[in-house]
Amino acid sequence: MKPKMVIGNWKMNKSFEEADDLIIAIGEQIAGLKLETGVVLCPPFIYLELATDQAEEADFSTGAQNCSEYKNGAVTGEISAEMLAKLGVEFCIVGHSERRKFFCESNQTIAKKADLLLENQLVPVVCCGEVIDERKANRHFEVVEKQIKESLFHLSKEDFESVVIAYEPVWAIGTGETATPEQAEEMHAFIRQLIEKKYGTEIAYSTYILYGGSCNAQNALELFSQPNVDGGLIGGASLKANDFVAIIEAAETTVKEN
Ligand code: PEP
């Protein structure tokens, strides 16, 4: 089993002081653990430098929650992939369901962002997932397949190798309702098959497919024990150091026990 990856998506939370404290607390708590698990903190843009400064000494990497679909220039309010790269940011979440919903992001926009991130040697963490009505109508596989194909399958093999996928059923995000381990595993296995058909077995196996949606310290071990769940994208539970580190420890346990 390959090492897991745990990414914390802070969304639009924390004051400057709270962000600083949380980054330091997580860094201190994981310092002695000799982790195999990859840990990534994704605070809001304006706290990224706090995280990249600490990341040099600590056992975590830094990610942004979004980037512009444009390269540079007259695009007021945007942050480019190149700016993130120059700051030492290594990962960037794209296509989160909240951005699809509130900012009308399409699969095509997500594809442009993934391209710019890859051009700048950042890892795109591309989110996919169905809303509750799509699951009830048994359309969840079809929806996720379309999201992945339209946002990622234009990539070369070499570029695709750097991509991380996060399956986040929208009905589970921030709701306290988690997908069952079986539901998560079923979708992750489906996504891996899609990748295998397009890019071959080796890349399918090495691609990280993370689960996100009300993952917490209590349910992480069971979710991460599924063979096709390579870790988690964590929202609410990444805002407290103890909870987030407990999830990282769950990820670590699943690998060490196998
Ligand atoms: C997320 O926003 O990516 C997420 C998974 O949120 P939560 O863990 O709070 O459901």
List, for residues 114-171, the tens digit of each pLDDT value: 999 999 999 999 999 999 999 999 999 999 999 999 999 999 999 999 999 999 999 9
Query: What number of CA atoms fall less than 13 Å from residue 117's CA on the CB side?
Result: 33
The number of residues in the chain equals 258
pLDDT digits (tens, 9 = 90+) for 56-96: 888 999 999 999 999 999 999 999 999 999 999 999 999 99
Specify the residue for token string 């996720």.
Answer: 144
- Residue 256 has what pLDDT? 79
Q: Whose CA is nearest to atom 1 of ligand 1?
A: 235
Q: pTM of the full predicted structure?
A: 0.97
Neighbours of 25 (CB within 10 A): 15
Select from 6, 23, 26 the least CA-distant residue to 15.
Answer: 23
The one-letter code for the residue type at 215 is C
- Residue 63 has what pLDDT? 98
Structural domain containing residue 197: 5-257
d(CA 113, CA 119): 10
Instruction: Give the mutation target among 6, 7, 11, 42 for probing the ligand 1 site: most ligand atoms within 8 A of CB.
Output: 11
pLDDT digits (tens, 9 = 90+) for 218-248: 999 999 999 999 999 999 999 999 999 999 9
The one-letter code for the residue type at 84 is L
CATH number at residue 20: 3.20.20.70
Q: Which of 69, 96, 134, 188 is catalytic?
A: 96
Q: Whose CA is nearest to atom 3 of ligand 1?
A: 235
d(CA 40, CA 75): 28
Q: How many domains does the chain have?
A: 1
- Indicate the SS3 state at residue 223: helix
Are residues 165 and 126 in contact, defined by beta-carbon separation less than 8 angstroms? yes
